[in-house]
């Protein structure tokens, strides 16, 4: 999108002017490009109006979308649209290509984890680590998380009913979307997070919050259909603790 100044002139310092420049984005660390408008014209690539694109999103079972939301994401350069002048009065209309669909899917997924727009931008356009950004948010919830510390220490002795209550709290704290969470949170995900933090400069308090966050998420991941899988939780619990010992060893 071409940003405009107070006189409605195009701001040449716009970060994501898709009409003038290729825009690069990342999904799962793989780099892609939204080509600039001149390439679209030469390649005769199909452009979709904002209404057509919204219909495409609905057909792909992407919910809670609207034309106003697409406009907002364009204005904030989270989902830059092509701006094309149409009609006698030459008004600008927004247009999209199929590649925009993949970006929307990624935005929706990241939003389900509670990331804000600026954080989503960092993941998609700057290839920043999602895990680092996500867990940085958890550190801000230190006060709430520390209240559960005693319970975590005594996890082997608590009843399933209490596990259910804790899991409800965990879901609220971390703004968890169950479908995305179950798909993402596994042993590989845990190891990725722990490895990302090995070379970080976390102080002892921040590290404690990180580990507690991972333990609570493991607890949530081990509770399904009103049943607590203690074996699964123990495996992930000791993986987290072992990772911490490795990280803090001289």
pLDDT at 198 over 80: no
The token pair that represents 242 in the structure block: 């072992």
Pair (43, 90) in one structural domain: yes
Does residue 9 fall inside a structural domain?
Answer: no
Does residue 215 fall inside a structural domain?
Answer: yes
Report the percent of the chain where pLDDT is more than 70. 66
The token pair that represents 129 in the structure block: 């680590």
Rounded Cα–Cα distance for residues 15 and 12 (Å): 9
The token pair that represents 202 in the structure block: 């976390």
Pair (100, 156) in one structural domain: no
Cα distances from 241 to residues 29, 134, 150, 210, in angstroms, run 28, 20, 16, 11
Pair (181, 240) in one structural domain: yes
Rounded Cα–Cα distance for residues 93 and 91 (Å): 7
Pair (106, 141) in one structural domain: no
Average pLDDT over residues 217-229: 79
pLDDT at 158 over 60: no
Rounded Cα–Cα distance for residues 189 and 9 (Å): 46
Domain that holds residue 174: 129-248
Pair (96, 185) in one structural domain: no
Pair (36, 141) in one structural domain: no
Per-residue pLDDT of 21-79, as tens digits, reads 999 999 988 899 999 999 998 988 889 999 999 999 999 999 899 999 999 999 999 99
Determine the straight-line distance between the first and last CA of the chain, rounded to whole angstroms: 51
Pair (135, 98) in one structural domain: no
Does residue 1 fall inside a structural domain?
Answer: no
Considering 84, 113, 142, which residue would you say is the last residue of a domain? Answer: 113
Pair (69, 134) in one structural domain: no
Of 76, 27, 46, 144, the C-alpha closest to 35 is 46
Q: Residue 90: pLDDT band by 50, 70, 90 thresholds? A: low
Q: What is the pLDDT of residue 106?
A: 94
Q: What is the pLDDT of residue 53?
A: 97
Does residue 146 fall inside a structural domain?
Answer: yes
Per-residue pLDDT of 98-111, as tens digits, reads 999 999 999 998 88
Considering 65, 83, 113, which residue would you say is the last residue of a domain? Answer: 113
Which H helix or E strand runs over 224? strand 223-224
Does residue 155 fall inside a structural domain?
Answer: yes
Does residue 13 fall inside a structural domain?
Answer: no
**CATH label of the domain that carries residue 94:** 1.10.1660.10
Higher pLDDT pick, 242 / 110: 110
For 97, list phi and psi in degrees, rounded to 5.
Answer: -125, 175
Does residue 230 fall inside a structural domain?
Answer: yes
Q: What is the pLDDT of residue 54?
A: 97
The answer to whether the predicted template modeling score (pTM) of the entire model surpasses 0.95 is no
Q: What is the pLDDT of residue 56?
A: 97
Per-residue pLDDT of 129-139, as tens digits, reads 776 676 666 66
Pair (239, 196) in one structural domain: yes
Pair (210, 158) in one structural domain: yes
Q: Which DSSP symbol is given to 229?
A: -
Q: Residue 150: pLDDT band by 50, 70, 90 thresholds? A: low
Q: What is the pLDDT of residue 96?
A: 97
* Beta-carbon count within 10 A of 151 CB: 17
Pair (134, 241) in one structural domain: yes
Considering 113, 148, 163, which residue would you say is the last residue of a domain? Answer: 113
Does residue 118 fall inside a structural domain?
Answer: no
The domain tally of the chain equals: 2
pLDDT at 3 over 50: no
Pair (67, 176) in one structural domain: no
Block residue for tokens 């899917």: 105
């Amino acid at each position: 999108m071409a940003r405009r100044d107070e006189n409605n002139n195009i701001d040449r310092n716009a970060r994501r002017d898709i009409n003038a420049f290729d825009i690069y984005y990342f999904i799962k660390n793989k780099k892609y490009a939204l080509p600039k408008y001149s390439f679209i014209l030469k390649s005769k690539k199909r452009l979709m109006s904002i209404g057509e694109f919204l219909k495409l999103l609905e057909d792909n079972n992407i919910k809670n979308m609207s034309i106003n939301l697409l406009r907002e994401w364009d204005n904030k350069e989270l989902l830059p649209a092509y701006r094309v002048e149409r009609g006698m009065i030459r008004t600008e209309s927004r247009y999209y290509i199929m590649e925009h669909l993949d970006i929307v899917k990624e935005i929706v997924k990241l939003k389900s984890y509670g990331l804000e727009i600026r954080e989503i931008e960092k993941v998609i356009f700057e290839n920043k680590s999602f895990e680092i950004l996500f867990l940085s948010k958890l550190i801000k919830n230190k006060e709430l998380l520390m209240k559960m510390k005693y319970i975590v220490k005594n996890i082997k002795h608590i009843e399933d009913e209490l596990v259910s209550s804790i899991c409800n709290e965990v879901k609220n704290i971390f703004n968890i979307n169950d479908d995305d969470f179950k798909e993402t949170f596994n042993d590989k995900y845990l190891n990725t997070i722990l490895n990302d933090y090995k070379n970080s400069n976390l102080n002892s308090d921040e590290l404690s919050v990180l580990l507690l966050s991972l333990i609570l998420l493991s607890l949530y991941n081990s509770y399904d259909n009103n049943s607590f899988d203690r074996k699964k939780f123990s495996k992930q619990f000791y993986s987290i603790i072992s990772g911490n010992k490795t990280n803090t060893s001289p």
